[in-house]
Chain A
Amino acid sequence: MTPVTVPVSTERPTAPGTPSTSGAAPAPRGSSGPRAAVWLVGAAIVLVLSVSVAVTLGPAHLPVSDVWRSVAQHLGLDGPLGLDRLAPLPDGLVWELRLPRVLTAAGVGAGLAVCGVVMQSLTRNPLADPYLLGLSSGASLGAVCVLGLGVAMVLPVAAFAGALLALLATLGLAGAAGGLTPSRTVLAGLAVSQLAAAGVSFVIFWTSTGDSYQDILSWLLGSVAGATWTSVAVTCGATLVLGGVLAATGSLLDAFTFGDTAAAALGVPVERARRILLVLVAILTGALVSQSGSIGFVGLVLPHAVRLVVGTRNRLLLPLSGLLGASFLVWADTAARTVFAPREIPVGVMTAAVGAPVFAFLLWRGRGRA
């Protein structure tokens, strides 16, 4: 592997009150290709290392080499590479238990972060997140209907259906109110969200006892504890396909920076672009939520933090947030299952515990900005 230079200085945005750098300064932060490539390659390496190491952590500790041997074995590469076969126990631990969970966390983290960037750019609101359209509440309602009311449906399907119904309600309400402007979309999403949340509370209140309550709560807080290779296929597949499409829309999202009229004046078909992007975000978020429940803060804090470092250049911001979001959730989930071992806490608790202080810090650091 070729050595990669990790960028040393991150050239933060000019602090309030300090004079701007002179016009003779070298290329401003990351505006050119090579620098962006360094960020992306660095983040990709961090992700591969994170996944490899996270799989080794747990009650039974494994060396990283076991992880790779197990992967090679299942991909049929152990023979050609001349590797010894791994004992069934560590192999099962890696391949059946930990790897699906870690990869699901990576897929969910990447997808949520990309969706967060898109939502923030489309609404021009740095506080927007993938759940803004009422998706998480809709998915939750679908899920509690299965868990609490025993609706005969597979849980992920019910959650996905709930998310899409919430999306349709939000788009319908915003459209009926006069069109998909950022503020109307946010308000419609809020209304749908509150209604679905009321439904969730009602079902819980009406039906829950002991075990089902724990199930519901764990789902509502977000968890990848039960991840299987099916979860990996759904989350990573959706993230690679839909997230990949979204990640290619950087210039389009850039055009929205100064609002709808400015975007239209730059030749963007505003209404159509927004509708398509919102639907893509909703389908991806719905697919993720169906597997993991609604994990908070990844889609909100991560894009926000990355944006503060590399600026609002969506062509870099989208893939970089995706890669870093994946690593972030891998570590959050690893912490969720190891910090209080043998007890495990929902990963949503962990992301909030890390995300809220980081968010507060960003807020504090950004004081004085417009």
Chain B
Amino acid sequence: MTDDVLGPGDARSPGGLAAERLRWGAGGRLLVDGVDVTAPPGTVTGLLGPNGSGKTTLLRLLAGVRRPEDGTVVLDGTDLHAASARARARAVALVEQDATTDLPITVLDAVLLGRIPHRSLLAGPRASDRTAALEALDAAGAAALRDREVTTLSGGERQRVHLARALAQQPRLLLLDEPTNHLDVRAQLETMTVLRKLVADGVTVVTALHELTMAAHACDHVVLLAAGRVVAAGTVEDVLVPEVLEPVYGVRVDVLRHPRTGRPVLAYAES
């Protein structure tokens, strides 16, 4: 049973992601120190925090690619770290920051990698894998790149390909590490639109973000980290306020309102 797709689990459980008391350290320093994260299905949760606050490490723990020293990661009622690696990979996808390769590989082949957890390791991609990969390319707005070599892509194009690869995994939990890095403003908004469409289909999305205004624009919930601990968690309106942000980032913060969307727009000044 361990190799089955992770089931819907306990009917009483709320569903979505529930991580508790996560702890992980390296070189005698705790990078993630007792972190709780909950993300209901069909929502985008933003992981915020200054450089080195533990966002990337936390994402790896949530993705199950790194085993926490303590704590649990539960997706739809099933403990991710107790499941087999392949079953986990069918339920959870991770888009890393700046994943690159020197090997020549076409975009379509790179996206097809996302189908590996869905077939036998001895088998090649089937027609259904190809269909899923092409749909994922389309959904990530990278259909035109399909036959290009990944090594010839710009940073922004490459980011879309990685997003497409994660979509091809058809995950129920999608984790992203700064997916809007390297992207121009339009591409940033488009990426966030892709994520909004995914959550409309019931996928749970957790994404690390640097740009707080982007988080205010696209996230339902945010978790603010500092030095490996959760400083604040809740809705955008609760967390993205000067009283919470100023001590964490060490800057003056003013919250304005977007004239069209009414969402918070953050302005900064050195304190």
- B263 interface hit (Cβ, 8 Å): no
Contacts A124-B102, A125-B102: A23 and B94 contacting too (C-beta < 8 A)? no
Would B60 and A312 count as touching, CB distance under 8 A?
no
Which of B104, B108, B152 meets A308, CB within 8 Å? B104
Q: How many residues of A contact B (CB 8 A)?
A: 43
Which of B90, B99, B105 meets A262, CB within 8 Å? B99
Nearest CB of chain B from residue A161's CB, rounded to whole Å: 33
| Cβ–Cβ < 8 Å partners of A313 in chain B | 105, 109
Please encode chain A, from 253 to 278, with 1 for each CB lying within 8 Å of some chain B CB and 0 for all others: 01101110110111111000000000
Chain A residue nearest to B116 (CB atoms) is: A266
Which of A22, A33, A255, A264 meets B124, CB within 8 Å? A33
| Cβ–Cβ < 8 Å partners of B162 in chain A | 258
Number of A-B contacts (CB under 8 A): 130
| Cβ–Cβ < 8 Å partners of B93 in chain A | 265
- B32 interface hit (Cβ, 8 Å): no
CA distance A229 to B65 in the complex (A): 48
Contacts A267-B86, A369-B152: A251 and B99 contacting too (C-beta < 8 A)? no
Label chain A's interface by main secondary structure.
loop
| Cβ–Cβ < 8 Å partners of A369 in chain B | 104, 149, 151-152
- B248 interface hit (Cβ, 8 Å): no
Nearest CB of chain B from residue A198's CB, rounded to whole Å: 31
CA distance A13 to B143 in the complex (A): 18
Would B99 and A258 count as touching, CB distance under 8 A?
yes
| Cβ–Cβ < 8 Å partners of A255 in chain B | 113, 116
| Cβ–Cβ < 8 Å partners of B88 in chain A | 267
| Cβ–Cβ < 8 Å partners of B64 in chain A | 264
- B22 interface hit (Cβ, 8 Å): no
| One of A24-32, A52-60, A133-141, A353-361 at the interface | A24-32
Would B106 and A267 count as touching, CB distance under 8 A?
no
Chain A residue nearest to B161 (CB atoms) is: A258
Q: How many residues of B contact A (CB 8 A)?
A: 49
CA distance A22 to B145 in the complex (A): 8
Would A312 and B86 count as touching, CB distance under 8 A?
no
Please encode chain A, from 124 to 160, with 1 for each CB lying within 8 Å of some chain B CB and 0 for all others: 1110000000000000000000000000000000000
Would A311 and B105 count as touching, CB distance under 8 A?
yes
- A121 interface hit (Cβ, 8 Å): yes
Would B152 and A251 count as touching, CB distance under 8 A?
no
CA distance A254 to B121 in the complex (A): 10
Would B148 and A14 count as touching, CB distance under 8 A?
yes
Chain B residues within 8 Å of A, Cβ to Cβ: 60, 63-66, 84-90, 92-94, 96, 99-106, 108-110, 113-114, 116-117, 119, 121-125, 130, 143-149, 151-152, 162, 169
A–B Cβ pairs within 8 angstroms, 16 of them: A14-B152, A31-B125, A124-B103, A125-B102, A250-B124, A257-B103, A259-B101, A261-B65, A261-B94, A265-B93, A265-B96, A266-B117, A267-B86, A312-B103, A369-B152, A370-B100
Top 10 A-B residue pairs of the complex, sorted by shortest distance between their CB atoms:
A267-B89, A264-B65, A267-B86, A370-B151, A312-B105, A265-B94, A258-B99, A267-B117, A267-B85, A20-B148
